[in-house]
Structure 1
Amino acid sequence: MPDSPTSPPLFLRAVRSLAAVKPRSELVVRDLDAPPRLAPHTWATSVEADIGHRGDGTDDLDEPDTSGRLILLYDPDGQDAWHGEFRLVCFVQARLEPEQLGDEMLPQVGWSWLTEALESSGAGFTALTGTVTQTASVRFGDGGGGPREDDVELRASWSPTESDADLSRHAVAFAALVASAAGLPPLGVPSLHRTTG
């Protein structure tokens, strides 16, 4: 648990700075159990988006169009590969629109969602690495035999360079990444998507 008395103050400061960020209303944020073996101290959250999401906090996104997980790793002794004590790991999965299928530029576009989000938020980072993968799936069994669904998956990790452990800009960047992957318009720009109800 992040608030354990044994958690180092620097880790707690980083967690609180990440958790304090409130993303745009179309995104649903939930706490997650962090994988315990990746580092001595870990924390995780999820951010989900759905084109049909009302944004009022009352709907449940059982199968969101876009979902993401952000994990904070902290090792007080540091790790050479991290270039520091902290490492952020993210995974984002987004459903593709039919017109995006077969787009050879999709991996570059997907990666640019992350790099542009980090840069526009002013987050300091180093040792950025990751992959962008296009996948296809069809459900089988009870209720299966459904249509093929194509997704894009982005996995990435980077080391924050903020010396004061205020990682709020990284939380802002992650929320912006999920919003871009979901196809949400920039804040202040009305959506052209029509919802029926």
Structure 2
Amino acid sequence: MTGIQNAPAPFRHAVDCLSALRPRPELALDEIRAPARLAPWAYAIGAEVNGPADELATGKLILLHDPAGQQAWGGAWRFAALVRAELDPEVAADPLLPEVGWSWLTEALETAGAEFSTLGGTVTRTSSARFGDIAGPIRSDDLELRASWTADDGPNLIAHGEAFCALVANTVGLPPIGVTKL
């Protein structure tokens, strides 16, 4: 990509939509460097959120656009998302965590009204133990969700950005906007 000003108008509109995202106060979004070789046009945002018990989640949402379309995508617009989150040990021990983590993504996309197809990805749970002279907690549990999907409603892609924000918030246990935790 040589610069947004040289991009096709539909891609510039899509970037404007994602740039206009106004996430909840606990979530910080920033434009980050997008991968250069996956599509003729790419844009990326990074996210960071601190949850109620100081769990941290970070994420990346990458928008890929090929005006000619790509057969593997089934369209001209593709999103790739990566979310990493620290987990409470009780949550990490849940045998259904991968399925629950995946449902956070699908529910976020559906709730936001995003039109999508060819959704695929992985949910990985890791448990780490630190030894010797290394900083950090003795034990930590983490979740990593990687996913990609074709946006069928491009270039009006704000719903996909909203879904990504909801996903990042869900991974650290933040309640939906307007809901107060008791």
Same fold at TM > 0.5? yes
Larger helix proportion of the pair: 2
Matched, 1:100 2:91: yes
Tell me which of 120, 123, 135 is aligned to 1:132: 123
TM-score, normalised by the number of residues in structure 2:
0.92
Name 1:56's counterpart in structure 2. none
For the 8 Å contact 1:70–1:89, the answer to whether it is kept is: yes
Larger strand proportion of the pair: 2
Alpha-carbon shift at residue 191 of structure 1 (Å): 3.2
Gaps of 5+ in 1: 54-62, 193-197
Matched, 1:18 2:18: yes
TM-score, normalised by the number of residues in structure 1:
0.85
Three-state SS of the structure 1 residue aligned to 2:5 is coil
Structure 2 CA distance for aligned equivalents of residues 64 and 3 of structure 1: 36
Gaps of 5+ in 2: none
Matched, 1:76 2:70: no
For the 8 Å contact 2:131–2:138, the answer to whether it is kept is: no
Three-state SS of the structure 1 residue aligned to 2:100 is helix
CA 1:142 to 1:93, structure 2 compared with 1: closer, same or farther past 3 Å? same
Alignment of 1:164-175 (within 5 A): 165-175=155-165
Structure 2 CA distance for aligned equivalents of residues 93 and 39 of structure 1: 24
Name 2:6's counterpart in structure 1. 6
For the 8 Å contact 1:121–1:170, the answer to whether it is kept is: yes
Count, aligned residues: 182
Name 1:195's counterpart in structure 2. none
Task: Give the aligned residue type for 2:167.
Answer: L
For the 8 Å contact 2:52–2:174, the answer to whether it is kept is: no
Tell me which of 170, 178, 181 is aligned to 1:188: 178
Matched, 1:36 2:44: no
Tell me which of 88, 104, 115 is aligned to 1:113: 104
Give me the identity figure in percent.
49
Matched, 1:88 2:79: yes
Structure 1 CA distance for aligned equivalents of residues 102 and 91 of structure 2: 15
Structure 1 CA distance for aligned equivalents of residues 82 and 132 of structure 2: 27
